[in-house]
Structure 1
Amino acid sequence: MNSTATAARTTARRYSLVAMLFHWLIALAVIVNWRLAEAAEHAGRADAIWYFANHKALGMVILLLTLGRLIWRWIHPVPPLPGDLARWEKVLARSVHIVFYVLLIALPLGGWLATSLNGGAIDMFGAFAIPALPVGLNEDLGETIFDAHSLGGSIMVYLIGLHILGALKHTLFDRNGGIFRMLPFGRVPG
């Protein structure tokens, strides 16, 4: 097989460069947003307000990036999973990805809803504000949703850990390309 055919087969097993960009931007934004929330929890009141304001704004950016990624994914199908995966690994991989997408949409929307129930808008880094949803005031319900939002964020962190472990397993032990499917370099076996 010539090098052009090999490159085409390797590329077909990789995600597109746009999908890679969405993946890594969302991953970075989620990690930064998690750290902002953690910092807010341990900060004084004035600092906590700043951290949470940026957490909320970045959450809306994550929502937009996720919607963009889903549209891209719909138009550009993803490469198939490696053929050497056991059935349970395929089911787990698909399940984790579905839960990721649900959380990447539900967490920002839930945060926006809870903020709205507390009478607030979302300040987008001082550039503009996203107005509160027309839901009226209900601080008790807002706090309940914030609690669910926090739980969802914790689930997201654990899933990220599982996702990283899976990518490392497939890369280092299975040697089926694993993480290189989402990077523009490295070997992805055909």
Structure 2
Amino acid sequence: MNEISAKRYSTGAMIFHWVIAVLVIMNWQIAERAQSLDMPMKAEVFGYHKAWGILILALTLGRLLWRVTHRVPPLPANLARWEVMLARTVHVLFYVLLIGLPLGGWLANSLAGRSIDFFGLFTIPAIPVAENGELAGRIYGMHALGGSIFIYLIGLHILGALKHTFFDRNGGIFRMLPFGRVPD
């Protein structure tokens, strides 16, 4: 691996990152807009939200597999200790939410006695749990809260990437893009 590419994420990691990022933001917007709809349109739109969530889960599992089998570039040397800790904490929380939110949504659906239609291609069966509407409602609430926390973390992540790119000038966002300058 040459010196330039050693400072960037691999092409596979970049693809996983950007596809998942777009899908997460899109799926958040689907859920936000579905809230104001009336039935049966609301249920139909939330059906897409659920299917996209399952796809995000599958892609995240693929991304984790990719990550353990491919080298990750080191963080820039000019980061303060608190920045390193914050970056690592946010990334761990991203993975927790990228896995936990879809699983929580699937569990809540299962507790409500519903399966998940995956874009009309196949049905993801309910997890074999006893129906419990009250618990399903609480999990849906936690799912919504987790989604809100996720959006704030994404904002923090974007601000950090912009700070590192334009103020610290250490490559920031270009580490996750196939173009742009990543300095020595």
Could you say which TM-score interval applies, normalised by the shorter chain? over 0.9
- How far off its partner does 1:72 sit? 0.4
- How far off its partner does 1:77 sit? 2.3
The one of 168, 174, 178 equivalent to 1:180 is 174
Distance 2:68 2:2 in 1: 21
Q: Which deviates the most, 170-179 or 37-46?
A: 37-46
| Regions of 4+ moved over 2 Å | none
The one of 153, 161, 169 equivalent to 1:159 is 153
Is 2:84 the counterpart of 1:96? no
Amino acid at match of 1:91: M
Distance 2:41 2:84 in 1: 43
Distance 1:55 1:21 in 2: 21
Query: What is the TM-score with the length of structure 2 in the denominator?
Result: 0.98
**CA RMSD of superposed structures (Å):** 0.9
Q: Percent identity?
A: 63
- How far off its partner does 1:46 sit? 1.8
**Secondary structure of residue in 2 paired with 1:81:** coil
Q: Following superposition of structure 1 onto structure 2, how do residues 13-162 of structure 1 map, counting pairs within 5 Å?
A: 13-162=7-156
Deviations 1:119-158 (A, max 9, x none): 0000000111000000010000000000000000000000
Structure 1: state its 5+ residue gaps: 1-6
Query: What is the TM-score with the length of structure 1 in the denominator?
Result: 0.95
Distance 2:174 2:41 in 1: 39
